[in-house]
Amino acid sequence: MSALESSPEESNSAVRPSGFARAASLVGLGIFSSRTVGLARDIITASLIGTTAAASAFSIAFTIPNLFRRLLGEGALAAGLVPFFAEELAKGNPRNAWSKAGKVLSVAALILLLLTLAGMLICWIGTGLTVPGTRLYMVFAYAFGLLAYMPMICLVGLSMGLLNACGHFFVPAFTPILLNASWILAGLLICPFLPKTPYHQAWGLVIGILAGGVIQLAVQIPILLKHGWRPRWEPHWRDPFVRNVFRLAAPAVIGLSVTQVNVVVDRTLAGYLSEYAASALFYAERLIYLPLGLVGTALGTVALPSMSRLFSKGDRTGMARIFERGLGLVLFWTLPAAVGLYWLGPEIVALIYEHGSFDQSSTAHVVWALRFYVPGLLAFSALKVIIPAFYAMKDTTTPVRVAWVALLLNLVLNLILMQWLEHGGLALATSVSAWV
């Protein structure tokens, strides 16, 4: 058994400060593998739908399940659950910890089911009120299909947070590869049998995403069982543990909601700018997510359970060491990546995306957005370590206050900068607000 994968009896040990970099390296390797496969996925996606109206509609619709994944999956709810779960593990009672976590999972599943049904109803009504073939119609249509992915990926995110708290990083780190692989297979095996229009090709990708959600959830279940989770339907709203988790998560939900509102605002304004703007932002973000995931996300994934455990034990010195180590690694790895993306952006975009429906004009649109995302890369990565530090201390209100300031600044800058820089202005506004 790897030193980074603990048994149920040892799961209260989590990750010691001395093993922080090693654990982050394992997570980073998983993210690197996923991002590498993700690049192949993006190449296929760009070849099939390019920067067309269907591509923009698809990218907008896909932000909906991703939004809730960040809120009720690996984001806010995990920020409320993991510190309490790690605290229970630190007490040496994993059975009790899993019992309480199971109740939270039950409540989360119920909420997600209700949200999914409500969202599908709205999308069904929306398709009836819009003209077929228009961008808005396609957004409603794709969102209707992708909403089924939402509960699966949110539960996957929560499961990954719990396994990380147990010191098991391998499976959670490599699970996202399954979504990308399913997406690629859909592009290669399903899309060729669909009509060749971008609208129909995107539906093949929707099928791949749904299959990927099922596979990711199925892979997590055996590992959860191995670590002590027992499937029970216990949506007990009034349980003290459940109430504490949701009480801690509530400010984080608000804070992350503000962050996601920024994304929705950017996509909406991009839709008004041009047919290609939203998809250009999407492809540029995919390139930014590669170093962001390898560095920021990897460090943040390991930092939250590690700092939560140390904080619950009163070891402020150990927690500070992990925090400082994380920020140091962010600075060391992110700066060279930012320089490389800025200067080699045109070559990178052309090499990865310029195939099929993605032509030279598409490359120019994506590079324009990428140039303005790059200045925010260091801030994006640092926040992946800074915010978990607040969550580990069970302080979810401070990030909310900062997020509100960033939202207002982003909105004002969007409206100003888009007048001169078009969709590049939206990217620059996001970068500037991240530094706040």
pTM: 0.71
What is residue 35's predicted lDDT score, i.e. its pLDDT? 79
Per-residue pLDDT of 16-68, as tens digits, reads 555 666 777 777 788 788 878 888 898 899 889 987 889 889 988 998 888 78
Average pLDDT over residues 94-122: 91
CA distances for 21 relative to 26, 42, 173, 232, 429, angstroms: 9, 30, 15, 36, 32
DSSP letter for each residue of 163-207 = HHHTT--HHHHHTHHHHHHHHHHIIIIIGGGS-SSHHHHHHHHHH
Average pLDDT, the chain: 86
pLDDT digits (tens, 9 = 90+) for 209-267: 999 999 999 999 999 999 888 888 888 878 888 888 888 787 777 776 666 677 778 87
Check if the beta carbon of residue 250 is closer than 8 Å to that of residue 75: no
- Residues 412 and 410: their CA atoms lie apart, in Å, by 6
Q: What is the pLDDT of residues 331-358, one digit of tens each?
A: 898 999 999 999 999 999 999 888 887 8
pLDDT (0 to 100) of residue 313? 83
Is the pLDDT score of 5 beyond 60?
Answer: no
Q: What percent of the chain has pLDDT over 90?
A: 40
Query: In sequence order, which residues have a C-beta less than 8 Å from that of residue 308 and are 6 or more positions away?
Result: 82, 83, 86, 87, 165, 391, 392
Residue 381 near residue 334 (C-beta atoms within 8 A): yes
Q: For residue 51, what pLDDT is reported?
A: 79
Q: So what's the pLDDT on residue 16?
A: 53
What's residue 399's pLDDT? 85
Residue indicated by tokens 């925090």: 323
Question: Is residue 4's pLDDT more than 60?
Answer: no
Confidence of residue 421 (pLDDT cuts 50, 70, 90): very high
Reported as a single tens digit per residue, the pLDDT across 361-390 is 999 999 999 999 999 999 999 988 898 899
Distance CA 173, CA 83 (A): 20
Longest dimension (CA), the chain: 61
